[in-house]
Amino acid sequence: MVVRSRFTRNIARWLTATACVMAAAPGANAEPVVAQELPPTIPSIKQWISGGTGFTLGSDARIVADAASRGPAQRLAEDLTGIGKPVSVTGTGARAGDIVLVQTGDAPEPAESYRISSTDRLTISARDLPGIAHGTQTALQWLRQSGTIPGGSAQDWPDYAERGLMLDTGREFFPADWVKARIRDAAHLRMNMVQLHLSDSQGFRLDSRVHPEITSPLHYTAADIADILDYADSYGIEIVPEIDMPSHMNAILAQHQDLVLRPAHTSSADAQRDNLIAGGVGGKIDLTNPAAYQLISDILHEFVPMFRGRYWHLGCDEYISDYSRYPQLSEYATRVIGPDAAPGDVIVAFANWAADIVESFGRTPRAWNDGFDQAVTIAPKTEVVMQYWSSSAGGLPWLPGGRTPAELTAAGHPILNAAFTPAYFVTGGPAAALNAPPELLYAWDPGLFVNGSRLPDADRRLLRGSMLFLWCDDPEVMTPEQIVDPLRARLRVMAQQLWGGTGGVSYPEFVFRANAVGWP
Indicate which CATH number applies to the domain containing 102: 3.30.379.10
The CATH number covering residue 199 comes to 3.20.20.80
Run of H or E residues at 294? helix 290-303
Domain count along the chain: 2
Residues 127 and 249 in one domain: no
**In which band, very low, low, confident or very high, does the pLDDT at 4 lie, cut at 50, 70 and 90?**
very low
Q: Extract long-range pairs of 134-139: CB within 8 Å, 24+ residues apart.
A: 134/190, 134/236, 135/101, 136/72, 136/73, 136/75, 136/76, 136/101, 137/187, 137/188, 137/189, 137/190, 138/41, 138/45, 138/114, 138/190, 139/76, 139/99
DSSP string, 66-104: -GGGHHHHHHHHHHHHHTT---EEESS---TT-EEEEE-
**In which band, very low, low, confident or very high, does the pLDDT at 280 lie, cut at 50, 70 and 90?**
low
Residues 94 and 63 in one domain: yes
Query: Beta strand 162-168 with 193-197: parallel, antiparallel or unpaired?
Result: parallel
Residues 133 and 219 in one domain: no
Residue 142 has what pLDDT? 98
Residue 241 lies in a domain: yes
Residue 28 lies in a domain: yes
Residue 274 has what pLDDT? 59
Residue 127 has pLDDT above 80, yes or no: yes
Residues 267 and 288 in one domain: yes
Residues 262 and 318 in one domain: yes
Q: How many Cβ atoms are within 10 Å of 341's Cβ, its own excluded? A: 21
Residue 168 has pLDDT above 70, yes or no: yes
- Mean pLDDT, to the nearest integer, of 177-194? 98
Query: Beta strand 148-149 with 114-118: parallel, antiparallel or unpaired?
Result: unpaired
Residues 198 and 142 in one domain: no
- Mean pLDDT, to the nearest integer, of 4-19? 34
- Of the residues 127, 156, 185, which one is the last residue of a structural domain? 156
Condensed to tens digits (0 to 9), the pLDDT of residues 265-278 reads: 766 555 555 555 55
Residue 27 has what pLDDT? 31
Residue 493 has what pLDDT? 98
Q: Which amino acid is at 466?
A: S
Q: How does DSSP classify residue 260?
A: B
- Average pLDDT over the chain, rounded to whole? 91
- Mean pLDDT, to the nearest integer, of 333-350? 98
Residue 20 has pLDDT above 60, yes or no: no
Which range among 224-233, 322-331, 391-400 shows the weakest confidence by mean pLDDT? 391-400
Q: Which amino acid is at 29?
A: N
Residue 128 has pLDDT above 80, yes or no: yes
Residue 7 has what pLDDT? 35
Q: How does DSSP classify residue 209?
A: S
Residue 519 lies in a domain: no
- Give CA–CA dist 206/241, Å, rounded: 11
- Give CA–CA dist 301/324, Å, rounded: 33
Residue 196 has what pLDDT? 99
Condensed to tens digits (0 to 9), the pLDDT of residues 43-53 reads: 999 999 999 99
Of the chain, the percentage scoring pLDDT greater than 90 comes to 85
Which tops the pLDDT comparison, 122 or 275?
Answer: 122
Q: Which amino acid is at 222?
A: A
Range of the domain at 98: 2-156
Residues 143 and 86 in one domain: yes
Residue 452 lies in a domain: yes
Residue 393 has what pLDDT? 86
- Give CA–CA dist 452/444, Å, rounded: 11
- Give CA–CA dist 47/8, Å, rounded: 7
Residues 138 and 218 in one domain: no
Residue 11 has what pLDDT? 35
Residue 40 lies in a domain: yes
Which range among 41-50, 105-114, 472-481 shows the weakest confidence by mean pLDDT? 105-114
Which ranges in 49-206 belong to alpha helices (H)?
A: 70-82, 129-145, 176-188
Residue 92 has what pLDDT? 87
- Give CA–CA dist 463/386, Å, rounded: 10
Condensed to tens digits (0 to 9), the pLDDT of residues 68-86 reads: 999 999 999 999 999 999 9
- Cis-peptide into 475, omega within 30 deg: no
**In which band, very low, low, confident or very high, does the pLDDT at 106 lie, cut at 50, 70 and 90?**
confident
Tell me, letter by letter, the H, E, C secondary structure of 327-371.
HHHHHHHHHHHCCCCCCHHHHHHHHHHHHHHHHHCCCEEEEEHHH
- Mean pLDDT, to the nearest integer, of 327-339? 98
- Mean pLDDT, to the nearest integer, of 405-430? 97
Residues 12 and 151 in one domain: yes
- Strand, helix or coil for residue 195: strand
Condensed to tens digits (0 to 9), the pLDDT of residues 349-361 reads: 999 999 999 999 9
DSSP string, 401-470: SS--HHHHHHTT--EEE--HHHHEEE-SSGGGGGPPPHHHHHH--TT--TTS----GGGGGGEEEEEEEE
Residue 140 has what pLDDT? 98
- Of the residues 104, 125, 156, which one is the last residue of a structural domain? 156
Residue 23 has what pLDDT? 29
Residue 516 has what pLDDT? 96
**In which band, very low, low, confident or very high, does the pLDDT at 284 lie, cut at 50, 70 and 90?**
very high
**In which band, very low, low, confident or very high, does the pLDDT at 316 lie, cut at 50, 70 and 90?**
very high
Residue 16 has what pLDDT? 32
Residues 454 and 312 in one domain: yes
Residue 281 has what pLDDT? 61
- Mean pLDDT, to the nearest integer, of 322-351? 97
Contact criterion met (CB below 8 Å) for 277 and 325: no
- Give CA–CA dist 277/271, Å, rounded: 10
Q: What does pTM read for this prediction?
A: 0.91
Residue 132 lies in a domain: yes
Phi-psi region of 426 (alpha: psi -120 to 50; beta: other; left: phi over 0): beta
Residues 333 and 207 in one domain: yes
**In which band, very low, low, confident or very high, does the pLDDT at 18 lie, cut at 50, 70 and 90?**
very low
Residue 110 has what pLDDT? 87
Residue 9 has what pLDDT? 37
Residue 425 lies in a domain: yes
Residue 340 lies in a domain: yes
- Of the residues 156, 184, 218, which one is the last residue of a structural domain? 156
Residues 139 and 219 in one domain: no
- Give CA–CA dist 311/356, Å, rounded: 13
